Structure 1
Amino acid sequence: MPELRASALVDAPVAAVAGALLDTSLIAGFGVRVPGPLLCLGDELAGPFGVRLVVTRADLSGVSAAGDFLELHTDLVVTGAGTMVVDRVSWKAVGGVVGRFADVTVGRGMALRVLQKRSALLATRCAELVAARVVVGAAIVRSGRMLAQQRSFPADTAGKWELPGGRVEAGEKPSDALVRECFEELGVPVVVGDQVGPDVPLKRDLVLRIFAAELAGGEPEALEHNAVQWFTADELPAVDWLPADRVLMPALQALLN
């Protein structure tokens, strides 16, 4: 398969770059129909000329989508100067002289223009996410299970599940905000660990940032939600998650495996 490669250095942490890649607004402008505002593992993308792709990767390492005739891969490499974004596009070429001519003059030129435009959009979106307000969430693990809570309001999200957490207040550290939110929502103290997965865009100026956490005592209670429940790695995909939490399934399952 013919392949085109391009790379660009983005002055942003890898979590922000990986989060920007989840924002489907970066590809919707190219005539790609997407199922929602965020890319999720298993999503189907419909492009021009009947091209269909399935998302096969969406995590801190980058994103990939593959179909019968086209494959797209974006790999992220952390460097001392920022995050290197390496794009690879490969496609099935039509045989014969005409096919080779079209491949060189049309296929490669179109792919290069798309990558260049997407690179500019990505840099802008990364800058927005770096400066965005933060909502924190806790991936609390105990005995091979992860804690989730079921929303009771507002009406449009009632009954769906999410990880515990909430907004970081002005002047508050994300880790301190997460300790506060877990005590308010669950009635338990937690010890906050490392970030899990990418920053997930919620709005133009708001991101969800998940951290691994452990209980420091007590038993979680549903103080502000309908219920709390522990789930195994195999059970996580079947849970009716809020969209932003569902995006993080690969990273959350990795914590339990």
Structure 2
Amino acid sequence: MPVESCSTLIAAPRRLVAGVVRDGEAAAESLRAAGHRYSAAVRLLVPGDEVLLDARLVPGVRLPYRSRIRTVGVDGMVSDLVGGPARSLRHTTTLGDSPGGTVMRDEIRWRSPFGALGRIGDAILVRRLMREMLAARSAVYRRRAEDLAAAPAVVGAAVVRDGAVLAAQRSRPAELRGRWELPGGRVEPGETEPEALARECAEELAAQVEVGERTGTDLPVSTPGGEVVLRMYAAALHPDSPEPKPLEHLAVRWLRARELPTVGWVDADRAVVADLEALLVTSLPQ
């Protein structure tokens, strides 16, 4: 089975690089740089999402591929071919900590059809295309991650109680009204991220929260003011906290794991549903 791989040192934390790895905008930019086309229904990919790649073989000749995301998280991402001319193709991105930041290792394994003729095509054409694709991906992902390392931070709180997580229904802007999110907001100058979360929950919910560990990957998000990085934290209500109230939202509700996929999340928070499910499982009494 042919294999092409590429390793890249990125001067950014692993959670941040993991967010870029799942970012469809980064994928589209890197593939355009290599002469290909990319499309997906969402920006931030989760397991089960499918992406379309229109691969440019030679000038005037393109082949469509369809891949499904198998896994995605702080350790990287795996996707498998589900439609295209190759018999099989797997793209694995593995992330590891390094003294200089994060090492991103991309590996593509594939099996072409047509027997000996396919192997000749691999040697003459496909390997070169894979190397060009990985080189473009390396350059684009490194630049995007290192730029995002200096971007403003937004924080969200996965407030867990009795096996359920608190969600808030947005009242604005108009295009997001009625969709659901985790409470949170921007980190102000001089604040730590946990301090910002505690303040935002007090302002939005009249609730006191105790902020715990990070959960999930960083998430690049576009705003009218530019790109920001969304970071999620596990949290719990303080024992003396009043019940959360929707001071700035339409409603609040406690969601159990089975309910998480059933609500209309804002796009960024949809990307952490799997992490919320895992968080709820670990929060239950053993």
Partner of 1:92: 111
CA distance in structure 2 between the partners assigned to 1:96 and 1:224 by the alignment: 62
Partner of 2:46: 40
- Structure-1-length-normalised TM-score: 0.95
Please state if 1:121 is matched with 2:140. yes
CA distance in structure 1 between the partners assigned to 2:103 and 2:77 by the alignment: 14
| Structure 1 stretch displaced more, 90-99 or 226-235 | 90-99
Q: Give 1:4 shift.
A: 1.9
> What secondary structure is seen at the aligned counterpart in 2 of 1:147?
strand
- Whether contact under 8 Å (2:10, 2:146) holds in the other structure is no
Partner of 2:12: 12
CA distance in structure 2 between the partners assigned to 1:230 and 1:136 by the alignment: 19
> What secondary structure is seen at the aligned counterpart in 2 of 1:121?
helix
| TM alignment of 1:22-171, pairs within 5 A | 22-28=22-28, 29=32, 30-48=36-54, 49-68=63-82, 69-171=88-190
- Structure-2-length-normalised TM-score: 0.86
> What secondary structure is seen at the aligned counterpart in 2 of 1:205?
strand
Please identify runs of 4+ aligned residues in structure 1 that moved more than 3 A. none
Q: Which amino acid is 2:65 matched to?
A: V
CA distance in structure 1 between the partners assigned to 2:276 and 2:91 by the alignment: 24
> Percent identity of the aligned residues?
41
Q: Give 1:76 shift.
A: 0.9
> What secondary structure is seen at the aligned counterpart in 2 of 1:51?
strand
CA distance in structure 1 between the partners assigned to 2:68 and 2:125 by the alignment: 24
Partner of 1:247: 271
CA distance in structure 1 between the partners assigned to 2:8 and 2:218 by the alignment: 20
Q: Deviations over 1:160-217 (max 9, x none)?
A: 0000001111222111110000001111111111111111111253111111111102
Q: Give 1:40 shift.
A: 2.8
Structure 1 unaligned blocks of 5 or more: none
- Whether contact under 8 Å (1:65, 1:72) holds in the other structure is yes
| Structure 1 stretch displaced more, 245-254 or 88-97 | 88-97
> What secondary structure is seen at the aligned counterpart in 2 of 1:16?
helix
CA distance in structure 2 between the partners assigned to 1:11 and 1:145 by the alignment: 36
Q: Which amino acid is 1:161 matched to?
A: W
* C-alpha RMSD over aligned residues: 1.4
More strand by share: 2
CA distance in structure 1 between the partners assigned to 2:94 and 2:273 by the alignment: 19
- Whether contact under 8 Å (2:151, 2:229) holds in the other structure is yes
Partner of 1:215: 237
- Whether contact under 8 Å (1:151, 1:226) holds in the other structure is yes
| TM alignment of 1:221-236, pairs within 5 A | 221-236=245-260
Q: Give 1:222 shift.
A: 1.0
CA distance in structure 2 between the partners assigned to 1:146 and 1:162 by the alignment: 11
Structure 2 unaligned blocks of 5 or more: 55-62, 83-87, 282-286
Partner of 2:228: 206
Q: Which amino acid is 1:65 matched to?
A: S
| Structure 1 stretch displaced more, 43-52 or 90-99 | 90-99
> What secondary structure is seen at the aligned counterpart in 2 of 1:47?
strand
CA distance in structure 2 between the partners assigned to 1:39 and 1:93 by the alignment: 26
